[in-house]
Amino acid sequence: MFIVDYIKTVYSTCKSLLSGMRLTGYYFFHHKEIITQQYPDVRLVMAERFRGEVVMTHDEKNEHRCTGCTACELACPNATIKIVTKQELQPDGKKKKALDTFVYHLELCTMCNLCIMACPTDAIKMAQTYEHSVFDRNQLTKKLNAPGSKLMEGVE
């Protein structure tokens, strides 16, 4: 009986190995099912909702929608955003709080989307970039509002 068992084991082992090898052979001859991306030459277009980094939207007149309300700064779990405000003189002589600098620390950001959710005026959004490495970490601290930009009219 030992001999019969022995032969059976050898047979089932060989069979299972060969069926595995057959599958491997199938992929060897079917290159189309291999999904290698030639990365630096072929770049993927990321999904529309992909969270790459926070950017501020500006229109063609170089106007943004940020009122400097600091809702995003409060919503951020990692102190990634720092908003510096200034007092701006209105035409009617009153002073009004306005955005001076929107500082964004990419090195601290975890792309959790909470700031975008908190923004009442849709001033910031997530960009679909993904190549963030730089040689100097200071370059990761960004100023999001473009130089000379103003608050869009009608945004409160």
Partner 1 sequence: MQYEEVATTEEGNLVINVGPQHPATHGVMHLVITLNGETILKVEPHLGYIHRSIEKMCESLSYRQFIYSTSRMDYLSAHINNHGCALAVEKGLQIEVPERAKVIRVLMDELTRVASHVLWWGAMAMDVGALTPFFHAFRERELINDIMEETCGARLTMNYMVPGGVMADLHPDFVRKVKDFVAFFRTKIDEYDTLITHNVIFQGRMKGVGVISAADAVSYGCTGPVLRACGVKCDIRKLSPYDGYEKLNFEEPLETAGDSYARYLQRMRELRESLSIIDQLIDNIPEGDFQAKTKAVLKLPKGEFYSRVETARGEFGVYIISEGGLTPYRIHFRSPGFNNLAALDHMARGQKIGDLVAIMGTLDLVIPDIDR
Is residue 77 near partner 1 by the rule CB under 8 A? Answer: yes
Instruction: Tell me the two tokens of residue 98.
Output: 């306005």
User: Which of residues 30, 31, 32, 49 is near partner 1 by CB under 8 A?
Assistant: 49
Q: What is the nearest approach in angstroms of partner 1 to the Cβ of residue 102?
A: 20
Nearest to 72 by CA among 15, 121, 29, 11: 121
Strand, coil or helix: 131:
coil
Cα–Cα distance for residue pair 147/57, rounded to 1 Å: 13
Is residue 25 near partner 1 by the rule CB under 8 A? Answer: no
Query: Residue 57 half-sphere exposure, CB side, CA atoms within 13 Å?
Result: 12
Query: With CB under 8 A as the contact rule, which of the stretches 8-16, 61-69, 96-104, 134-142 interacts with partner 1?
Result: 8-16
Is residue 24 near partner 1 by the rule CB under 8 A? Answer: yes
Element (H, E) at 95: strand 95-105
Q: Please say which residue, 76 or 124, places its beta carbon nearer to partner 1.
A: 76
Q: Please say which residue, 8 or 143, places its beta carbon nearer to partner 1.
A: 8
Is residue 38 near partner 1 by the rule CB under 8 A? Answer: no
Say if residues 76 and 115 touch (Cβ distance below 8 Å): yes
Query: With CB under 8 A as the contact rule, which of the stretches 80-88, 91-99, 104-112, 140-148 interacts with partner 1?
Result: 104-112
Rg, the chain, Cα only: 28
Interface residues toward partner 1, by CB under 8 A: 9, 12-13, 16-17, 19-20, 23-24, 35, 46-51, 75-77, 110-114, 117, 126
